[in-house]
């Protein structure tokens, strides 16, 4: 696991971890470190923790045991962008409609709601994909 705090614009925190269920908690602590460093309000911290948890959980299901990169970035207007990169570019996210009895399928809908629709995904230049959500000010 590698954690870095960098001063380049925009300010951001990154963390690498292996895609196992027990490591998903690491993204929550990454969000906490960023929120503490930047003095973010509790509601933004909570939204970031939940969004990162959902994104990391999806990456664990898609790429078990492989390296995942999580990132929290702060823009000049106070928007916090959370993202998770995984090595599988062949499977882009597909929002689904989960039924009341389904155990999976709500993650992207939760992320979309937290981000007020400001979320998405794209291939990463070094391979894999990045799934992201922008939280906070518009």
pTM: 0.84
Tokens of 70: 């999580």
Residue 106's pLDDT band (boundaries 50, 70, 90)?
A: low
Q: Write out pLDDT tens, residues 16-72.
A: 999 999 999 999 999 999 999 999 999 999 999 999 999 999 999 989 999 999 999
DSSP code at position 88: -
Among 50-54, 80-84, 94-98, name the one with the lowest average pLDDT. Answer: 94-98
Distances (CA, A) of 83 to 39, 87, 130: 20, 13, 6
CATH number for the domain that contains residue 81: 3.30.565.10
CB 72 within 8 A of CB 12: yes
Give the per-residue pLDDT at 110.
86
Average pLDDT over residues 115-132: 90
Residue 103 or residue 15, greater confidence: 15
CB 66 within 8 A of CB 86: yes
Give the per-residue pLDDT at 86.
93
Q: Which domain holds residue 104?
A: 2-135
Environment class of residue 58 by beta-carbon count within 10 Å: exposed (0-12), middle (13-18) or buried (19+)? buried
Chain center to CA of 71? 7
Domain total in the chain = 1
Long-range contacts from 113-117, C-beta under 8 angstroms, 24+ separation: 114/47, 114/50, 114/51, 115/51
- The 10 Å Cβ neighbour count of residue 46 is 15
């Amino acid at each position: 696991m590698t954690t870095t705090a960098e001063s380049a614009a925009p300010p951001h925190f990154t963390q690498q971890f292996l895609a196992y269920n027990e490591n998903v908690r690491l993204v929550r602590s990454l969000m906490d470190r960023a929120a503490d460093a930047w003095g973010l309000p509790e509601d933004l911290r909570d939204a970031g923790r939940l969004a990162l948890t959902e994104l990391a959980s999806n990456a664990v299901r898609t790429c078990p045991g492989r390296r995942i990169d999580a990132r929290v970035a702060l823009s000049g207007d106070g928007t916090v962008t959370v993202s998770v990169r995984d090595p599988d570019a062949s499977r882009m996210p597909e929002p689904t409609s989960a039924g009341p009895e389904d155990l999976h399928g709500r993650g992207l809908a939760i992320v979309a709601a937290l981000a007020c629709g400001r979320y998405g995904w794209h291939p990463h230049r070094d391979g894999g994909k990045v799934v992201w959500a922008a939280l906070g000010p518009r």
